[in-house]
Amino acid sequence: MATVNRPRAYTILVGTAAAVIVAAGIGAAAWLVAPAFLAWVIVVVIAPVGHRLRAAGLPPWLATAVLVVLVYGVVVVMAGVVVLSAARLATVLPQYAAEAEGLRRGLGTLLSTYGIGPEQVREVLANLDVGKIAGYIAVLLASVAGLATNLVFLLSLLLFISIETSGADARFAVLVADRPLLGAALGRFTAGVRRYLVVTTIFGLLFGLIDTIALWFMGIPLAVTWGLLAFITNYIPYVGFWLAVLPPAVLALLVGGPRLLVVVVVLYLVVNFVLTSLVQPHFVGDAVGLSITVTFLALVFWGWLLGPVGAVLAVPLTLLVKAILVDSDPRAGWAAALLGSPPPEPEPT
């Protein structure tokens, strides 16, 4: 049968239409896709523990039970930290109502000196009420743990996926034998995601520990809570940093005024820059293989499509799509070059 050579514009239009349809379907089924992929990623990261336990001689049922306990512990701790942070912030902020009122009056006086009318000043100050700020931040933090409403469904998925990890190697061997390129791409994806999440977890712990100690010395209330929040939001590229710095910055403004606010923000900026820009890339290496622009666009896209969970899983989701559509196709080298990080410049001789 003779092959039909279609115009490139036709292929692009059909491919774009298919992508839009698939994205619409994923968005409609976000309640299922988000927890399913989150459960799968968590089990993929922790699965080597089960393999090592079985290799050490533990019975398969005991190794699976240990794996399930670890997986459940990770989910419960992460969800609990975010919810606790929102609840404690909403409790502490009203205690600084007098300080907040003083800041509001000072801001109103400052705005009046610059010629802003009294009506505009009242509108601005009305939006700076402590109760409203606490409500906004609580809603923002609770949205990060929005999957808690589907916690029973998520825990059930984690249980089933953890139990099936014992037969994953045999299934993957069949896939490699039948589709070697796709199997190799998925193998690289699994190793890359595992390394990325492990390194992100380690540096998130360092980030949270340093922030906790510094906030405690500066007298910021709930320093341990904000350190834990910094650890959790470290999984969200770019945006997670601002989610972590917002609550302690508000408290610093209420406790010590604008000067302490600037100190806290500068501290977070310096620690985040040193760890994520100078130290972490040397350990992560090419595990992600995505450019900064692609990572940011992926964060916006998956966050819009799947909500807060999509923002947390933006990098793994993008790597999965890249593995299936790009890495498994030898003709898609141009796409890999566009999506990947630029190669390092050669050292001068």
Cβ pair 125, 106 in contact under 8 A? no
Give domain status of residue 14, yes or no: no
Tell which wins on pLDDT, 6 or 295: 295
Task: Classify residue 114: in a domain, yes or no.
Answer: yes
Q: What's the number of domains the chain is made of?
A: 1
Boundaries of domain holding 38: 28-339
pLDDT value, residue 213: 92
Is 32 within a domain?
yes
Please state, for a pLDDT cut of 90, what percent of the chain lies above it.
Answer: 3
pTM equals 0.73
pLDDT of residue 103: 61
* 10 domain residue, yes or no: no
> Residue 112 in contact with residue 181, Cβ under 8 Å?
no
Name residue 138's amino acid: A
* Residues 162, 185: Cα–Cα separation, whole Å: 22
pLDDT digits (tens, 9 = 90+) for 267-277: 999 988 888 77
Is pLDDT of 20 > 50? yes
Q: Which long-range contacts (CB under 8 A, 24 or more apart) does 97-106 make?
A: 97/130, 99/254, 99/255, 100/128, 100/129, 100/130, 100/254, 103/128, 103/253, 103/254, 103/257, 104/128
Mean pLDDT for the chain overall: 74
In SS3 terms, the chain reads as CCCCCCCHHHHHHHHHHHHHHHHHHHHHCHHHHHHHHHHHHHHHHHHHHHHHHHHCCCCHHHHHHHHHHHHHHHHHHHHHHHHHHHHHHHHHHHHHHHHHHHHHHHHHHHHHHCCCCHHHHHHHHHCCCHHHHHHHHHHHHHHHCHHHHHHHHHHHHHHHHHHHHHHHHHHHHHHHHHCHHHHHHHHHHHHHHHHHHHHHHHHHHHHHHHHHHHHHHHCCCCHHHHHHHHHHHCCCCCHHHHHHHHHHHHHHHHHHCHHHHHHHHHHHHHHHHHHHHHHHHHHHCCCCCCCHHHHHHHHHHHHHHHCHHHHHCHHHHHHHHHHHHHHCCHHHHHHHHHHCCCCCCCCCC
Residue 17 lies in a domain: no
Q: Give dist(CA 236, CA 315) in Å, integer.
A: 9
Task: Confirm whether 109 is domain-assigned.
Answer: yes
Does position 345 have pLDDT exceeding 60, yes or no?
no
Select, from the ranges 86-100, 137-151, 316-330, the one with the highest average predicted confidence (pLDDT).
316-330
Is residue 344 in some structural domain?
Answer: no
How far, in Å, CA of 240 to CA of 143, rounded?
A: 12
Span 213-240, pLDDT tens digits: 999 998 888 888 888 888 878 888 777 8
Q: Residues 38-61: what's their mean pLDDT?
A: 77
pLDDT of residue 210: 92
Least confident residue range of 40-44, 82-86, 204-208: 82-86
Quick one: CA dihedral 241, 242, 247, 251, positive or negative? positive
pLDDT tens for each residue of 313-326 = 888 888 888 888 88
Distance CA 230, CA 169 (A): 35
Give per-residue pLDDT as tens, 64-84: 777 777 777 777 776 676 667
Q: Tell me, rounded to whole angstroms, the distance of Cα 106 from its chain centroid.
A: 37
Q: Which residues contact 185 (CB under 8 A, 6 or more apart)?
A: 323, 324, 327, 328
Phi, psi of 313 (to 5 degrees): -100, 20
- For residue 346, what pLDDT is reported? 45
pLDDT at 300 over 50: yes
CA distance 48 to 68: 13
- The answer to whether residue 18 is domain-embedded is no
Which of 105-114, 275-284, 292-301 is the most confident on average? 292-301
Distances (CA, A) of 271 to 57, 67, 223: 43, 33, 16
> What does the alpha-carbon distance between residue 255 and residue 93 come to, in Å, rounded to a whole number?
10
Q: Residue 185: which pLDDT band, with cuts at 50, 70 and 90?
A: confident
Amino acid 200: pLDDT: 83
> In terms of pLDDT, which residue wins out, 172 or 148?
172
Is pLDDT of 139 > 60? no
d(C-alpha 321, C-alpha 242), whole Å = 27
